[in-house]
Every structure is written in C-alpha cells, then in structure tokens.
Structure 1
Amino acid sequence: MKTEEQNKKSSVCNCLNLRRASLAITEIYDHYLAPCHLSVSQFSILKHTRAMEPVSVSELAAEIRLDRTTLVRNLKPLEQQGLIHDIAPSGTRNRQLCLTVEGREKIEQAHVYWQQAQEQIEAQLGQENTETLQALLLKIEVLAP
C-alpha cells in the first residue's frame, strides 16, 4: 500500500509546487492556532503590529510584505474583535495602529500554539532541511523584480 506522500506527485511547475506547499504549511499553523480563534496571517499581523507600534497601515504592509488592500481586509476582523485599534486623531488620514490589552493577551496565548506548529514542522522535516528550506525561500523571495 502506498503512503500519502508516495501518492502525491510534484508538478513540473515551480509556482504550483510552492502554492501547494504554502497551503499545507498554512493549514498546519491554522490547525494549531484554532484554539485561539486566529489564523496564522492574523497572528503575524498582531506580532508585527506589536513590534512596530504605533504603525501606519502602509508601514505594516511593507514590513509584512503584503499588498496594502489585503492587509486592510485582514485588519478588519482584528479590529472588530478589539485586538487592534487606531490611535490617530479623529479626522486624520494616516491611521496609527496599536494593540489593545486584549490583543497583547491574545498574542501571548497564541504564541504557545504557534511554537507547537514550528516544532511539528521541524520534527517532520528535520533541522537541516528546515534551515535549507528557509534559505531557499529567502532566495526565491528576492527573485521578484
């Protein structure tokens, strides 16, 4: 009987292979973060906001390397949950985002689950392969014009 890994075949298309891998990794992180009611994307936004606060949407998008409109769409549920708020004076065009107390607590709670996902992936791939993967992904990221 073939294992699931043996049944899956790599595509000749590098883009498709990377998308498939990205979906698989995202699924793992989202599974681990589910008890916190956060996706890995939301967790990343919260962590980057905390590290940079107060931060404008444009600065945050550039740091995370997300399209600004995608980031705005992903910020809405975090703001609705009371995890992020805008401290810019009313009427100003440039939003300044900060975490709320609840947002800080959510990061602390979620970090434990995020770490478990990290450890599971490294256990599956091995430390050497994980380091190789990280190096290759960085090389791929800088390929874009």
Structure 2
Amino acid sequence: MKWRDYDIKIDKKIDAWILPSFSDNANLINKYAFFHEPISQQYIWYKEHPSEGSNIANYFKVVEMENEILAFFILNYFKDDHERLVLGINPMAIHPQHINQGYGTLILSDLITNTETIIGQKVEIIYAGIDEKNAISTNLFLKFGFKEAGRSPDKKFIYYELKK
C-alpha cells in the first residue's frame, strides 16, 4: 500500500467518483464524502483558504495498491481545545467500485499504524465525524476502537476519536 499526496494534474480521475455513471456506489460517495463536489474543487478551495480547514495543516492523500487508486482522504491536523495533536479524517472515501470489499479495513488499519509516517507529524488522537446514517463507516471505525466523543448540535454527525 502506498500513500502519496494528491496531485490535481494526475488525480483528476477521482472527480468521476461522484458520477452515477461511474459506479452504483456513487450515491454513497456523494452522500457521505464529496457531497456532489469534485475533489479538485475541494482541493482548490483548501489551497485558497489555507487557515480555514485546520489550525496547523491539511493533507490531501491518495492511497494506491498495485498502481490503482483505492482511496482518497482529506486529513486535517490541528491542536484541539486540550492542546492534543489531532488528525481529523474529513472525508475518507474508498474507490466506489471497491466499497464493501475490505479495503476500508485495510486502509484505516494502515493509517492508524503509520499515522506519523503518512503525514510526517506527531499525532495523539485520530478523529472522525461520521453521519449518523453512515453505517458502513460507523462500523469500520468502531471495529478499530474509536469511541464516541460527541455529536453535532443537530445530532446528525457523531464524532469519534481514537487515542494513539
């Protein structure tokens, strides 16, 4: 498994993940990860607003296996209110043609094990906000020992964290 930085010039094909013609699972990508917005547009927004997503750093990461893109992550690195170094996952998207095939488990395990190598920073907490209706992601994160840390004011998102 290889983690690398997203490159808008060579990774434009990830934008197609939101198209219904690309996969039957495009609806999941749109509903829970990309919200009908191509990743290239999100990437441009983060580049134009560097301090709005995180108070330290934002990472756009692509996960490959055998030269095939399997996943895409936006990772926000910040200090929380308790001065802990946190890596927020927002979002984690598995290639729509590979959802429910075990890749999420494999990739999240690798991220947890190799966090500091992947982003080059010390991490004390891994954090994820998951839509309460997203059973696939909820079950995946709970499997790795993530604990509920709170909910959004509208109760639609559950925040989970894992201490490293």
TM-score bracket relative to the smaller structure = under 0.3
Q: Which has the higher contact order (CA 8 A, sep 6+)?
A: 1
Q: Which of the pair is proportionally richer in strand? A: 2
TM-score, normalised to structure 2, is 0.25
Q: Which has the larger radius of gyration?
A: 1
